[in-house]
Structure 1
Amino acid sequence: MNAEERIAALERRIARLENRGPLMGAFTMKPAATNTVVDELRVERLCSGTAADGIGVGLPFMVEDASGNVDEAGNIDVVLTTAAHATQAAEMRFGVLGNTRLALKSGYQVYGFVPLLAPLTSTSWDGDAYSTAAKTLIDLSAVFSAPAGIKAALFRIVCRDSGSAASTSNLGVMLSPNDTASNGPVHCRVDGLPNDVLGEENAVVPCDANGDVYYQLTASGASTLDVWLQIWGYWI
C-alpha cells in the first residue's frame, strides 16, 4: 500500500468514526507489515456515578505488542471535579503507563476568560455615597453573583466626589487582591477634577485565593464619594 492509499484508507476510517457520533469510536494506524506494533488513537466519553470518579472526555493512547496484548500507554483527560457541569472546576490530566499501572503525572486547572454581554452589578455599588474607608473585602459571589473562586475580574469603575476640585489627596476608589493599605493594581482618582465630575477606569483586578477583591476609598468628606462598580468578565 503506497502513501496515497494509506491516506485514503485513513480518511475512510475517520469518516466511519464521524458517523458513529461525536467523541465515540476509534481509528487505528498500523505501520509496515513487518512491524506488529499497533498505535491506536481513540477519543472516549468518561462516565461514572460521581464526578470524582471521572466524568469528562478522555483521549487514551493504546499500544498492542506482537502477542496481541493491548495496553493503555498514556492518556489526556479533561475531567469535572464537581457533580455539576461547572467548567471552572474541570481539570486537565496527563497520564503515562508506569510499573504496570496508569500513573497520574500532572494535574492542571483549566483557565480561561469569560466575557459578559451584560455586566454583573450590585445595588451596593450603583452610585451609592461613601466616605473614606480602609481596605474592605468584597465577596464577589455574594455581592455581584460572580462564580466562586474566580482568578481575576474585568472591572469598570466610575466615581465622583462633591469636593474633588479643592482636593489634593488621592480621592477615589482602589481595588486590590490584598488588604494592604494603599496597595493595589488600579486606582480610579478624581482629585483635582471639577466637583462631581465623573472619573472612570477599566482594569483587570486579580482576586485573592477565594475569588474576592478588596476596596479602599478616599473621600473629601462624609458620604461625598459616589461609586459605581461593574464586572464585565472574569477569569476561571
Structure 2
Amino acid sequence: MIVWLASFPRSGNTFLRIALHHLYGVRTSVVYDTDYVARRLGADLIGFTERPAAIEAMRTDTRVHFVKTHRQVGHEVDPGDKAICLVRDGRDALVSWARQVSEAEPGRFAAELRKMIVRDEPVGAGSWGANVLSWLQPPVPNRLLLRYEDLVGDPAYAVERVVTALAPQLSPRAGAVIPSFADLQQVDDQFFRRGRSSTHRDELPADLHELFWSRPDNVAAMRLVGFPPTG
C-alpha cells in the first residue's frame, strides 16, 4: 500500500518525514530518483530508504510505503491511493522556497520568488495553487488534509491523527520523541530556517503579494484550505 506524502515544496514535508520516522519507526522514500534532502541532512535523520520496488508493486504490497512527492497529481498516482496532503499558506511556502533557491545568492530572492509565483507548468510541482487543487479537488476520501500549522503546533497529535485514519495497522512507539525545531536548526539552520507560519508578512514584497492573489488557482486553493484573500 502506498501513502503519498504530498506537498508543494517547502511546506513541511521533511519535518513530516522526520516525525513519522521518530513516532512510528518507519522509513520513507521519494518519487524522485535522488533524495537531495536526505543527502543534505542525512538519511538517518529523515528516515530515508530507497524505493524497494516500482510504484505499482509498492501499491499492491501489503506493507505500508510512505512516498514523498512535490508533484501535482500525475500518472504515478492512482485514484485509490491514500495520501497525506500537507498544505502550508502558499505565500509562506513560496517565500521559503525562493529563499532556499537563492541561498548562495540572496540578491536573487525577489526574482526567484516572482518566477515561482507565475510558473504554470502542467507537470512537476507547478504553481502553488494548481498543486494544492490537484490533490484536494475533487475530494477523495483517502486523501487527508494536514495543515502546516497543525503539524508544527502539535506534531505528535497531527501525525497520529492522519496515520490512524490511513494506516491503522501502524502504532506509535512508546516514549517516542520528535526533534524540536531548535534541535533541527543545530543540524542545518539554513534548511530549517524559521519553522513557523505567516513568515510572508515580513518577507513578501507588496507587489508580489498582489501578484500571488492575482492568480485564480491561488485564490481557489487558499479559500479551500482556510486562508481567505487578504490585502
Same fold (TM over 0.5): no
User: Which of structures 1 and 2 has the larger relative contact order (alpha carbons within 8 angstroms, sep 6+)?
Assistant: 2
Larger Cα-atom Rg: 1
For the aligned pair, the TM-score class normalised by the smaller chain equals under 0.3
TM-score by length of 2: 0.19
Greater helix fraction, Structure 1 or Structure 2: 2
Greater strand fraction, Structure 1 or Structure 2: 1
